[in-house]
Copies of this chain bind each other. A is one copy, B any other.
Amino acid sequence: MQFESDTRSRILSTARDLFHRRSYADVGIKEICDLAKVQKGSFYHFFPSKQDLASTVIDDMADDWAHGFVAEAFDQELPPLERLDYMVDAAYFWQKAAKDLEGRMPGCLFGNLALEISTRDDVLRAKLTSVFEKASEKFFETLEEAVTLGVMAPLDTAATATAMLAFLEGVILLAKTRNDPEVVRILGPAVQTIRIELPSPH
């Protein structure tokens, strides 16, 4: 069991790293097996298809993300608006660290996969939609709390939460295109200015 689970986790971490640094289509099962030092038969024992693998990579990354810097950024002990700043800082430092190490800013694995596979794979697309919905929920709770505390004027918290997530994905997209994490540091804080008003009562 120990050996099985080691093999599976080697495949997973290798695939996650390669998908993130390159793309889904660009990375083949053979390359993953070679780098993870796993036989193809063993690969298919754990992952019947590349789609299964990608689906597990998304879950795995979302889980790390939710328990890692997203949990830290959206710490209920922090004042709500500071959580948004923390989220931007975390995205910046993470991208900067990756670039310092690899010379390349990898961007957001979820955003990368979403644009690459959404027109062609509804299983992975549904999984990514759910990851984005969970992220959007964190912004939503933060905005609800900010409005309740009176540090933010009432607004359409659900729509604004999704718009804030969209903004961060877009900022990371432009930063990756320029291969420059500073774009995240400079533009990211404007996430706080985005507002979608409540529908007029009339």
Contact = CB atoms under 8 A, between A and B. Distances in A.
Interface of A: 21-23, 25-26, 104-107, 111-112, 114-120, 125, 128-129, 132, 159-160, 162-163, 165-171, 173-174, 176-179, 183, 186-187, 189-190, 193-196
Number of identical protomers: 2
Given A166-B171, A171-B166, A119 B132 contact: no
A162 B187 contact: yes
B177 A118 contact: yes
A115 B118 contact: no
A173 B114 contact: yes
Contacts of A166: 167, 170-171, 173-174, 187
A23 B160 CA distance: 30
Nearest to A114: B177
